[in-house]
Amino acid sequence: MSRAAPSTEELLRVDGLAKSFGGTQAVRGASFSIARGEIHALCGHNGAGKSTVVKMLSGQETPDSGAIRVAGRVLDLRSRRVAQANGIALVDQELSVVPSLTVAENLMLGDVRTGWLTRRRAARARFRTLLDSVGLGHVDLDRPLSGLSIGERQLIEIARALGQDARLVILDEPTATLSDVESEYVYAAVRGVAATGCAILFVSHRLGEVLDLCDNVTVMRDGDVVATTPVADLTIDSLIVQMLGELPHRPDKRTGDDVGASAETLVVSGLSVPGRVDDFGIVLRAGQVCAVAGQLGSGASDVLRAIAGLVPSATTGTPAGITVDGVPVAPGRPRAAIRAGIAFVSNDRKSEGLFLDRPTSWNLLATRLPHVTRLGVVNRRLWSATLDRLVELCGLEGARSQHAVRSLSGGNQQKVFVGRSLGRDDVRVLLLDDPTRGVDIGGRAAIHTLLRETAGRGVAVLFSSTDLEELLDLADVVVTMHKGVAVQRHEGTTAGAVLVREMTHGATVTLTKERP
């Protein structure tokens, strides 16, 4: 979608920003500028310094040195409230909405200008306009947020920031949890806000959307700004090289001939979740990496959670509806799934996976306590040996294994979450729901390599994803889903357009199950 060129009038200038945490230099003299009406991307691998820059611009961290100028005036941003009062609004990658409050109450939260009690009617009219701008015109303002999907909650958060009449809006991974359709609403809203003269700082790991949406891209690597480039001069590959210094290695996929007659590790037949999934079936062999592909609400995530025993209402129609190595696994019983050798990695590492204030070492070994203890007491030799092996396997820095996992970048947190299930003899099936959500291109390549190596050791890997590039790069087999129903099974090379059509619109041809 074309739009008017941004103004040449500078709105934001960042000069020599630097920030360290203890002995770690997170940002080293970062400098760039954004004009009024410009959509400016900030890219880099996890740990490059992007999040720290965002925190300094939004008042969450104070720079050790350097200056932040808005409209030519140097600002001392001591808090998010001060930043908002100076026209800077942030949509963080971690949702800050409150599920127990209504949509209207969430749109009001944190807005220093809204007088809810004295100007209720005017506020509701403004909130209605904000919802329309992000494609949520059908949502009732008095509806509790708990009744909305994760994607809809993300759009509510974006609408709240857009409604603060900011001069600079910072969007940190705004589409990480959204479907393609929901993302298009975000893009349209962002373009509309930029057209009013507001500057947009857009942080994203989705490089395709960066090149489609933004005017200029600033790339950070290891705390430094390495380049600021007009998008017209970039391709995805050249942008990746700026971010990483080289193109990442992509692990080879396995064909049906490679898998050959390997054993059927996971067989699912007639799996249903009321209102979410209808009669799903799949066969996964040892060494295969298979994807269940679908947009948010397609049922793909529900399939994985049901196989892991996390959906009490899941049914299979027959006692042998889920088997691992030929042994039936009762649905709706997570302990039975664990005993059968099923490991599950959620799509929400912070709420359903990691112990954020515990050390990285503790998180990696949390599921291995029987292996590293004797009579309930930790065996230090076994603990250290197992930890060293996992740190090396996951490509983490050993020196940081005693740091709280909260201090790690998003990509390294995800490596810890995935790594917890790797290298275990008791795991036969590894389930991962959106395994690289919010992870940069380098971290994603590393996680893909981990999963491919895990499959190479005879584990059956099943993941869900909405990311077309990830589906094409990683999966040996792709099963598409739409509105709770499996559409088609694809093995080998498949056109991306075919997958997208089936994920977004379904198909007239139903899935031909391999067996049973």
Distance CA 259, CA 262 (A): 6
User: What's the DSSP call for residue 315?
Assistant: B
Q: How far is CA 504 from the centre of its chain?
A: 20
Residues 107 and 153 sit within 8 Å (Cβ to Cβ) = no
Residues 439 and 450 sit within 8 Å (Cβ to Cβ) = no
Instruction: Count CA atoms closer than 13 A to 434's CA, side-chain side.
Output: 20
User: What's the DSSP call for residue 102?
Assistant: B
Predicted confidence band of residue 8 (pLDDT cuts 50, 70, 90): confident
Distance CA 381, CA 384 (A): 5
pLDDT in tens, 18-40: 998 877 788 999 999 999 999 99
pLDDT in tens, 85-115: 888 989 887 778 888 999 998 888 866 555 5
Q: Is 405 helix (H, G, I), strand (E, B) or coil?
A: helix
* Measured distance between the N- and C-terminal CA atoms of the chain, rounded to whole angstroms: 46
User: What's the DSSP call for residue 358?
Assistant: S
DSSP string, 161-194: HHTT--SEEEEESTTTT--HHHHHHHHHHHHHHH
Distance CA 439, CA 423 (A): 22
Q: Determine which of 146-160, 458-472, 501-515 has the lowest per-residue pLDDT on average.
A: 501-515
Q: What is the mean pLDDT of the segment spanning 158-180? A: 81
For residue 516, pLDDT beyond 50: no
Show Cβ contacts of residue 231 under 8 Å, excluding neighbours closer than 6 positions.
41, 210, 211, 214, 215, 216, 217
pLDDT in tens, 446-470: 888 889 988 988 999 999 987 777 8
Q: What is the mean pLDDT of the segment spanning 350-359? A: 82
The pLDDT value given to residue 3: 63
The pLDDT value given to residue 469: 77
pLDDT in tens, 106-145: 888 866 555 544 466 777 888 888 888 777 888 999 999 9
Q: What is the mean pLDDT of the segment spanning 289-307? A: 88
Alpha helices in 196-283 (DSSP H): 207-213, 236-244, 256-259
Residue 41's closest CA among 221, 202, 207, 215?
Answer: 202
Distance CA 250, CA 237 (A): 13
| Angle between helical axes of 120-133 and 180-195 (0-180°, round to 10) | 120
pLDDT in tens, 169-178: 999 888 876 7
Place of tokens 């490679």: 258
Domains of the chain: 10-244 (3.40.50.300), 248-341+427-516 (3.40.50.300), 355-425 (no CATH)
Distance CA 345, CA 352 (A): 9
Mean pLDDT score across all residues of the chain: 83
Distance CA 201, CA 424 (A): 42
Residues 196 and 166 sit within 8 Å (Cβ to Cβ) = no
Percentages helix, strand, coil for the chain (3-state, rounded to 5) are 35, 25, 40
pLDDT in tens, 204-218: 878 888 999 999 999
